[in-house]
Amino acid sequence: MNSRLLCRSAYAALLVSLSLLVACEQAFTTSPLSWLERDPDNMSKAQQIRYAEDALRSGSRSSARKAYDALSKNVDADDDAELNLLLADLAMNASGFSDALPDLLELAFDGKLGDQTELENQLENKLGDLSYHYVGEALKQIEAVHDKGATASEQQYLEVGLALVMRAAHANDGDFNPGVGGDEWVEAEAFVDDAVNVRLTDPKYIDDLLDYF
């Protein structure tokens, strides 16, 4: 093989190597993982919304917390209620509630949300797993939705309502009896009652939870 052909072969190999390197770099820097590793505090509002949506899809609790903490600072009364609903979902993910969701949905489908014993059996060991700060933030976002004349979905009311029950039980040393009283139980009952009797026209599951109180 002559020297000119060797040079051409080496040049072609170099081009292929550089192309592969660039492709790999682009794949890494544009992957969902690398996107969620960025700091949303340094993003524009539009970017924070995209980050929040990706965080929800990823199911990452830490990403949901970063997304909520960043985006919630940039939402005001002029924003559409859909943004508050997005923040409510983020807060619920950030709280860790999704880990308890499968068991709770099973109870909801079986019409057993009004059974104190059933709820206690499902949730007693999970009370310490939630961040109740973010449960409170989810409630705040749902209230902002109401202030804007909008309504959440039944699933959102159900999830927040159940998380408020967990918060009340946790605040009362694991006691799942609403009769023990306390501000947390009052707030949980008021939220569920409002969802069933004011916000939703045809509730299918959350009305069972109202029987719990």
Is the pLDDT at 78 greater than 70, yes or no?
yes
In a domain, 199, yes or no: yes
Q: What is d(CA 162, CA 213) in angstroms, rounded to the nearest whole number?
A: 12
Q: What is the pLDDT of residues 1-56, one digit of tens each?
A: 555 544 445 444 444 444 444 444 443 434 455 656 678 889 999 999 999 999 99
In one-letter notation, the amino acid at residue 175 is D
pLDDT for the residue numbered 32: 53
What pLDDT does 153 receive? 96
Rounded Cα–Cα distance for residues 195 and 39 (Å): 35
Indicate if 2 and 96 belong to the same structural domain. no
Exposed (0-12), middle (13-18) or buried (19+): which is 195, by Cβ within 10 Å? buried
The domain tally of the chain equals 2
Q: Are residues 83 and 26 in the same domain?
A: no
Higher pLDDT, 181 or 178: 178
Decide if 44 is inside a domain. no
Q: Judge if 114 and 18 occupy the same domain.
A: no
Instruction: Return the pLDDT at 25.
Output: 45
Whether 135 is covered by a domain: the verdict is yes
Same domain, 82 and 178: yes
Q: What is the span of the domain harbouring residue 93?
A: 75-212
Q: Is residue 140 part of a domain?
A: yes
Do 97 and 163 reside in the same domain of the chain?
Answer: yes
- Distance (Å, whole) CA 84 – CA 89: 9
Residue 157, pLDDT above cutoff 50: yes
Structural domain contains residue 58: no
